[in-house]
Chains A and B, each alone.
Chain A
Amino acid sequence: MNATVLYDAPGSRARVRHRLIGAVTIVGLAALVIFAIYRFWDTGQFEPLKWKQFEYPAIQAQLIDGLLGTLKAAGTAAVLALLFGATFASARISDAWIFRGPATFVVELFRAIPLLILIFFGYYVPVRFGMAISNFWALVAGLTVYNGSVLAEIIRAGIAAIPRGQSEAAYALGLQKTQVVTLILLPQAVRAMLPSIVGQLVVLLKDTALGFIITYPELLYVGKQMGSRLAFDLPYVPTYMVVAAIYISMCAALSAFANWLAHRGNGKPSPKPASPR
């Protein structure tokens, strides 16, 4: 941020003022942290008993199982959602309205319904037809149709953003629509939309936490069980701190990857043509 629209380089008086405000902020922040630590101490969050459960191998294994449950749901749903997204994106750019119309309807509808309701649908619709479904597949079904629809939009928009000259030139060379899309448009679009796709996968990973509500044993659900153990004096606070650290580091790593993908192309010559159309 060297040239910002909002302020000039500070002069000597402004620098003093900024330092003063900065110092006041740090003092305020420190007071807040001290107050938080006091509350932790006052309510006995630092007592060894509350943290002791993390020493037991069985409880560690339970935590790992929860993490694996989260990763299993996220991984399965990610693969299925990408397939769903690719299918519906290709249907949406089809020339035949018989594909385009229904695909547009499905994608718009699923994006308008809350994910939790979709997960409930994933559970109760099979039950209606006499098939009992595990809450794992209900969760995966909900995550797939919701994130798949968002991914379909990302892919469609990515393809639509490619300059028209590209496809016109390809058609002029006598390529068919399928060839134009797979050989010319997709390879260029994937580069541009990869950060958004990875960003959506972060959303998907976070949304696996909804499995908690339908009692699928993922990380947050395991955290609730661990936190409610009377033997360790209801260690909700320590447990949620550990769970939050796991979630945040996983998602932050994926987000950083998405950021890296987004800025990777910056050093290279711009893929955009000289004359905008």
Chain B
Amino acid sequence: MLEFFGTLTHNWDIFSRGFLTTLKLFLVGAVGSLVLGTALATMRVCPIPVLRGLGAAYVNTVRNTPLTLVFAFLVFAAPKLGLDIAFEPAAYLALTIYTGAFICETLRSGINTVPLGQGEAARALGMTFGQVLYLIVLPQAFRTVVPPLISMLNAMLKNTTVAAGFSVVEAGAIQAYLSERGENQIYTLLWITLGFLCFVVPLIILQRYLEQKWAVAR
């Protein structure tokens, strides 16, 4: 038991550094993918066919690409094209590119649940497409898709560990460091798991809370 706690206390430097990086990846990735997802969703529902097609092509391609491949391309192939990206920015970019496609689809399914009358009333008031979307439809759509949206962010939080394979020292990389220090691997993994639970459980609680608070009666 003492050894189990020792694994954490003796290596607190690595654990705190790893999970801080994970938190950073998560926050930047969440903001980035929400922005990208909203932009993509706007494209996919807008009246201009070219933009709709472009959005659909992006989403269908990225959703069928493994995240690890996106990482590998940004880290190994992009420098060969003259785009030198440091490991951490590459991780932000990969998570955003990948998660954005999923956020877009979630938002779009939410837009479909908003009653037709809402948009019609808004247009009757003379609102443009952008006003209808951002002032009337998206705020309502957003509330209905908060649970799947948080699940998506939760998945992204777990996906940050992929960065460990690409030289970013986040929580998933702690394992490799501590096995060099000769620590018990199982204990290390258990602590990493507990660390992730500390992130995941509040997210799930937030999801349940918002689900009830923001429930839309339709």
Contacts from A to B (Cβ < 8 Å): 3-8, 10, 14, 18, 21-22, 25-26, 29, 39-40, 42-43, 45, 112-117, 120-121, 124-125, 127-128, 202, 206-210, 212-213, 220, 223-224, 227-228, 234, 236-237, 240, 243-244, 247-248, 251-252, 255
Interface contacts (Cβ under 8 Å), in number, total 159
The answer on a CB contact under 8 Å between B186 and A39 is no
A72 and B164 CA atoms in complex are apart in Å by: 25
A25 and B160 CA atoms in complex are apart in Å by: 33
A114 and B200 CA atoms in complex are apart in Å by: 10
| Contact residues of A: prevailing secondary structure | helix
Our pick among B51, B77, B111, B192 for the contact of A5 (Cβ within 8 Å) is B111
B12 to chain A, nearest CB (A): 19
Our pick among A5, A22, A210 for the contact of B114 (Cβ within 8 Å) is A5
A255 and B193 CA atoms in complex are apart in Å by: 31
A248 and B101 CA atoms in complex are apart in Å by: 14
Across the two chains, which residue of chain A brings its CB closest to B185? Answer: A124
Segment of B27-35, B60-68, B89-97, B210-218 engaged in the interface with chain A: B60-68
Our pick among A114, A120, A227, A248 for the contact of B65 (Cβ within 8 Å) is A248
With A117-B175, A207-B66, A251-B64 known, 4 other A-B pairs at CB within 8 A are A5-B115, A5-B119, A220-B72, A237-B77
Cβ of B172 within 8 Å of any chain A Cβ, yes or no, is yes
The answer on a CB contact under 8 Å between B161 and A117 is yes
A235 to chain B, nearest CB (A): 8
B74 to chain A, nearest CB (A): 10
Of the candidates A29, A202, A236, the one having the most CB atoms from chain B within 10 angstroms of its own CB is A236
B98 to chain A, nearest CB (A): 10
Across the two chains, which residue of chain A brings its CB closest to B63? Answer: A255
